[in-house]
Structure 1
């Protein structure tokens, strides 16, 4: 299984590097953390210019949104873990610790055919759709552990109610 993961990630990483280097204005860039094929940093360089988040980025001089993607041993059969590292974002389906609330990042919503590029593009779209904003208030714990805990809680909620917001009376 680890061979499948390594081959797939090497192919995707090389392709994404080729695409972004060939573009004069790439939407994002990718890099490896400590030369590990299983831990990536993504700089989301462009968002919809009509979005509130884009305006916040311009106003605060934020050149990109930095994401972390960690690929489990079971990738591509299980989804990677994606979280926002900086800036701190509120709304836009970004939760405590920078965790992301997206069905396609859950075991139930994941398909092994999804590419890393598709994940990044879907996340960028959901940030805008969810009216993400740069947080002006200090957030609680913004660690990977907080993100993982927050993500597990949202998956549990969505497993119970589906991918709709439950009524407030039900929690």
Structure 2
């Protein structure tokens, strides 16, 4: 090997050793820096813990000795040691439009009709429920066959059942005949009543209960209503049957409209 080549090899070896020694010094410096950061974090954590411990001691110290002893005996934390008193909730009375309207009409009918010697009709609440009434129709057209039937069969009145929905007077009441059983006169299965003003389309909020009852009395006579002496239908004369018949009636008239039938058709 020539002397020149030997010098190049020696220079390369020295350069390699020199770079290696520099790399080792950098790693040591990094370890030293990391250790310093870790020490700083530990110091901050210890300081934070001391602050929390101090605050916790202050909270506990703020309690009175007697309260602290009771809490310790019952094993209750300071956050849950406060008693929550029950709230006395009072329900507001019903001052809805429906209630005011029905109360007003009921009092007026009681004053005018129930006080008469021979009233056309009378009303009463069912089980003191302002939204459910019985109405008794005592008088119909005296020249009608229906009035004759009532006299011959010794029937003093026609009993009606009225139910007022939540949105009354903006929706009509449901009304049906309870007794006696009537045929024709726009009275349907179960005692349902075929009157346009009792449907959502024909109803107006200005209609009163008195107007509805008087209109029904006129419809009975106009439709040639008669009291059934012998029951021909096997269907039950009940509220459920009446509601089903009325729903079917409303659907039919919504589809085809209201057409006044011939008197012979009832």
TM-score class, shorter-chain normalisation, is over 0.9
Please, which of 154, 164, 185 is the counterpart of residue 92 of structure 1? 185
- Which is helix-richer, 1 or 2? 2
> Does the Cα contact within 8 Å between 2:114 and 2:123 map onto a contact in 1?
no
Report the Cα offset of residue 137 of structure 1: 2.7
Please, which of 69, 93, 98 is the counterpart of residue 162 of structure 2? 69
Partner of 1:79: 172
- Aligned counterparts, 1:1-171, within 5 A: 3-138=96-231, 139=233, 140-164=235-259
Q: What are the ranges of 5 or more consecutive residues in structure 1 without an aligned counterpart?
A: 167-171
Query: What is the TM-score normalised by the length of structure 2?
Result: 0.61
Q: What value does the CA root-mean-square deviation take over the aligned residues?
A: 1.5
Q: What are the ranges of 5 or more consecutive residues in structure 2 without an aligned counterpart?
A: 1-93, 262-266
Q: What is the count of residue pairs matched by the alignment?
A: 166
Report the Cα offset of residue 22 of structure 1: 3.6
- Are the structure 2 counterparts of residues 36 and 67 from structure 1 closer, same or farther at C-alpha, using a change threshold of 3 Å? same
Higher radius of gyration, 1 or 2: 2
Aligned to 1:40, the other structure's residue is in SS state: strand
Give distance in 2, aligned partners of 1:144 and 1:46.
24
Aligned to 2:259, the other structure's residue is in SS state: coil
Task: Give 4+ residue runs of structure 1 displaced > 4 Å after superposition.
Answer: none
Report the Cα offset of residue 165 of structure 1: 6.1
- Are the structure 2 counterparts of residues 165 and 23 from structure 1 closer, same or farther at C-alpha, using a change threshold of 3 Å? closer
Query: What is the TM-score normalised by the length of structure 1?
Result: 0.93
- Are the structure 2 counterparts of residues 147 and 2 from structure 1 closer, same or farther at C-alpha, using a change threshold of 3 Å? farther
- Which is strand-richer, 1 or 2? 1
